[in-house]
Structure 1
Amino acid sequence: MPRGSKLLPSIGHAASGAGGTVISTLATYPLDLVNTRLKVQRHLRADGSIGPGDGYAGVADAFASIYAGEGGLASFFAGLGADLAKSAADSFLFFLFYTWFRSRRLHARNHAPHLSPLEELAVGAVAGACCKAFTTPVSNVVTRRQTASLMGARSSNSLSSQGRERQQQQQPQHRARDLTFGEIVADMHREKGLLGLWAGYSASLVLTLNPSTTFFLQQFLKRTLVPRHHWDDPGARTTFFLAAVSKVVATSLTYPFQIAKARVQHVSAASALVSRIRGIAGNTIFATVLRIARAEGVRALYDGIGGELLKGFFSHGTTMLSKDIIHRFIVRLYFAILVALQQYPQIRSHILQRTRELREEYLRAPSQTAAGRRGRSGVRYVQNAFSSGQRFAAGIMSSSQRN
């Protein structure tokens, strides 16, 4: 098959993954904003950026306080536009790299049905590292917008006169949520230089274990709990449940690194916190986690984890469920476009070629079990391809004949 047809699965999964992420981001963004503030408020109290009585007691208190003190529902969506762009790009690039690297690895193993656990984790980590290199600057902007009003709006009512004077001096930075994307980028560049846009990237590299662990667990649970003949289409409820549980487990393992990353990303140059964070940024993320644990206790590494687990459960479950629906639509749309361009006979020859390849793999299979597995895979491939393509072909051709 031509190179373009080999690239199609990667593009299809990337586009559907980005669409699913946009839907889940819209649904869970208020919870994400609350979680970000819970991650950094302990350090803001220690630094003096907010008073001892400021901050939130938990997720419910944060929602109530933000709604009452920062302008109602609109305050829960500060920075939503930038986060949607970042999330869509992050997801698109991750699924693109993940699908491409995984297919290349499977091809290198003579079309093995699945990768080993270590290979699954490695593919996910490499894919995550590649996409984070592109999206870390946008993530830094989003984090700054989400935490700006915590230092500005809430502390204005309880700070001493000296605190109010210092806050007024720091007001340009604390009003980051009122600045445009470009203005925030310019501020970050002025404060820390060009590399400051990638603050927290070392943490992002460690956090690539989160999606890779998530997808590994999802595949493991599917192969363990779902009957073999339903692996290709487990169903909506099963897909949501497996994705959600996998995300919760992965988030529990990597949450301390999320705390460290959020602290590196949110600071402004006007506070004494900057000098500390700049020193932290020069060290490894593991040193940052150890420093937080020694200075504030292990509990500080899990501030706000309840909200993060809740967000991860619904967010990733919604993402994967939406991705499956969008991916099926993209595949069908692809066949419809081929018919409209009168290229259906060409794709049919590609399918027949793939069928012959699968037949050869069937005959070369080393055991009866492997032969049966590859034979069933070939049958499903042909059935799915023809059922998706021929339905659209028949519909479009009959419509053109009526016209």
Structure 2
Amino acid sequence: MSKGNNDILSFEDYKLPPLGHAISGAVGSTIANLFIYPLDISTTRLQLKGDDEKKQGLLEQIKTIYEKEGGLKGLYAGLGSDTLATVLSSFIYFYCYTALRNLQEKMNTNIGKSSAELNVAQELFLGAEAALISRFFTTPVSNITTRLQTAGHNEKGFKEIALDILKEKGITGLWTGYRASIVLVSNPSITYFMFEKIKSIYMRTQKKSNLTGLQVFLFSACAKSIATMLTYPFIFLRTRMIGGGKQQDGIIDSLKAVIDKDGYTGLYKGMQAQIIKGFFNQGIMYMIKDYVAAYLALVFYHSFKLKMRAKLAHWNKVISHPLFNMVFFFGVRQVTKFFNLDNPRYISLIRSFYLGSQFVIILLSFYLLSVIKNKNDTTVLRYVQPGSKQWDGKQTPDRLIETNNMEYDIADVKKQLNQGFTGLAVAAFLHLKFGYVQPLIIQSILGFKNFFMTKEARIHLFHANTSTGELRRPFRIEGPLGTANEKSQPKTDKGSIKRVEKALKAQ
């Protein structure tokens, strides 16, 4: 990926589109969240402790939850909804930030600036703007997650907590703490600004051109710690407004209540735990994000085409075979027998994973459509589509199709999108009506496999060869078990085309 095996490229050098940064940020945040989640839930509990409760440190709080709330189950309470919030928040933030940054760089160039690079004010503003958009969409899920984290032995699930909030405050209650979040949008801006400053000072003094993975971890973690110290009172107030029993009326009321009871030092209750959590979370997230972004750069650009084409062709034959889906289906059934799928926590986690995966797949499909349109391949495509038998036994006439490669691919992707929405509706019906959970697990994984194995994805994302084989347009029509009826296949030979043209003229 760079000059040395241990070095990775800097954030800007990947030249990924917004979707690439969004995916890598979401993956990095999700993995980091799985590692530090016990710290997260313990920090939330510490922030909500009253003065009459026993003072505990972070490690003592973790030990208490582990011993009194069922071990790891207690330390990961609310993980499903928190993972959903993390994926959505990171995906939207990095997508918006990269898109806005690219737009600002173009504007800087258009107005005649000597450099397209952003100044400090622009960097901070764009980061805050992206965070504001992200928090608007994810605040409801984050609020429900905070309630789940503080519920203790309470067996209420995601749906029950959401209904409780609606009863207490109405629909606006789901956005409780959003005003505090408006101030907190400066947190990621400060984090990124400090990361860039620390990095530039290090690279200038040490005469380095790239950062290692460990350096990315340390620099981003330190930057997050500084941002947390500067914005912590608002982090604390937001948690207090959401978590403790009946919600406060607003940020001002919550601020007055804390100062009246504990003084100004009360605004910094639990800050040490928050800094420790942020240190590891941000460090792991940025380190993983950079590695994922580097991998995506290889996939999106020429390295993948040059180094992976042979392996892709081999694995495509294996993965695209209908037997693969059957083996995968029975494998999942056997594995899920070891889990209690009647447990509301497992069901909530599976639902979140399923909805998140379908959301990402839909976004990938729209991204694929944009790639096809940008290529604007108007190569003429003419072929004969054989007629089919109707319910009454009559054969419809053959049709002459005249289109181009771009329109042909767009129509096929839209057809797959419609099939995806149909599958989503069927899975939702089976789950809500009959309580089936396994289809959600299967489709969460198979959905990605099916997308990346589509002919359009292989052509436009992985630059596969379209001159011969199964990727040559028009595509062959295959049956459910990989069988193909030769009579129903589209025909491109001159004889078939002339025959249909002659029949059309005779009409």
Aligned pairs for 1:116-135 within 5 A: 116-135=119-138
**Residue 196 (structure 1) aligns with:** 173
Cα-to-partner distance string for 1:343-401 (whole Å, 9 max, x where unaligned): xxx99x99xxxxxxxxxxxxxxxxxxxxxxxxxxxxxxxxxxxxxxxxx98xx88xx99
2:139 to 113, 136, 139: 136
Aligned mates of 1:62, 1:12 — CA distance in 2: 38
**Residue 23 (structure 1) aligns with:** 31
Cα distance, 1:268 vs. partner? 3.3
Aligned mates of 1:88, 1:64 — CA distance in 2: 28
Change (3 A) 1:206 1:287: farther
Structure 2: which amino acid aligns with 1:145?
L
**Residue 77 (structure 2) aligns with:** 78
Q: Secondary structure at the match of 2:228?
A: helix
Aligned mates of 1:58, 1:239 — CA distance in 2: 28
Aligned mates of 1:123, 1:74 — CA distance in 2: 39
Structure 1: which amino acid aligns with 2:79?
L
Q: Secondary structure at the match of 1:268?
A: coil
Q: Secondary structure at the match of 1:109?
A: helix
Aligned pairs for 1:2-401 within 5 A: 9-42=17-50, 52=52, 54-110=53-109, 112-149=115-152, 175=154, 178-227=155-204, 230=208, 233-269=210-246, 274=247, 277-278=248-249, 281=250, 285=251, 288-335=254-301, 336=304
Is the Cα–Cα contact under 8 Å of residues 241 and 254 in structure 2 kept in the other structure? no
Cα-to-partner distance string for 1:146-188 (whole Å, 9 max, x where unaligned): 1111xxx5xxxxxxxxxxxxxxxxxxxxx2xx22212211121
Structure 2: which amino acid aligns with 1:240?
F
Cα distance, 1:287 vs. partner? 6.1
Aligned mates of 1:78, 1:218 — CA distance in 2: 32
**Residue 454 (structure 2) aligns with:** none
Aligned mates of 1:115, 1:286 — CA distance in 2: 35
RMSD: 3.0
TM-score, normalisation: structure 2: 0.55
Structure 1: which amino acid aligns with 2:21?
H
Cα distance, 1:234 vs. partner? 1.6
Is the Cα–Cα contact under 8 Å of residues 86 and 138 in structure 1 kept in the other structure? yes
Aligned mates of 1:117, 1:288 — CA distance in 2: 33
Aligned mates of 2:104, 2:207 — CA distance in 1: 24
Is the Cα–Cα contact under 8 Å of residues 257 and 289 in structure 1 kept in the other structure? no
TM-score, normalisation: structure 1: 0.68
Cα distance, 1:289 vs. partner? 3.1
Aligned mates of 1:294, 1:190 — CA distance in 2: 29
- Bigger Rg, which one: 2
Percent of matched pairs sharing the same residue: 34
Change (3 A) 1:30 1:19: same
Cα-to-partner distance string for 1:213-240 (whole Å, 9 max, x where unaligned): 0001111221222149855x42212211
Cα distance, 1:55 vs. partner? 4.5
Aligned mates of 1:126, 1:286 — CA distance in 2: 23
Structure 1: which amino acid aligns with 2:83?
L
The structure that is helix-richer by fraction is 1
Is the Cα–Cα contact under 8 Å of residues 36 and 147 in structure 1 kept in the other structure? yes
Is the Cα–Cα contact under 8 Å of residues 29 and 86 in structure 2 kept in the other structure? yes
**Residue 162 (structure 1) aligns with:** none
Cα-to-partner distance string for 1:10-62 (whole Å, 9 max, x where unaligned): 111111000000010000000000000111112xx5xxxxxx3x344211221
Cα distance, 1:114 vs. partner? 2.6
Q: Secondary structure at the match of 2:56?
A: coil
In the alignment, structure 1 segments of 5+ residues that lack a partner are 1-6, 46-51, 154-174, 351-391
Is the Cα–Cα contact under 8 Å of residues 177 and 242 in structure 2 kept in the other structure? yes
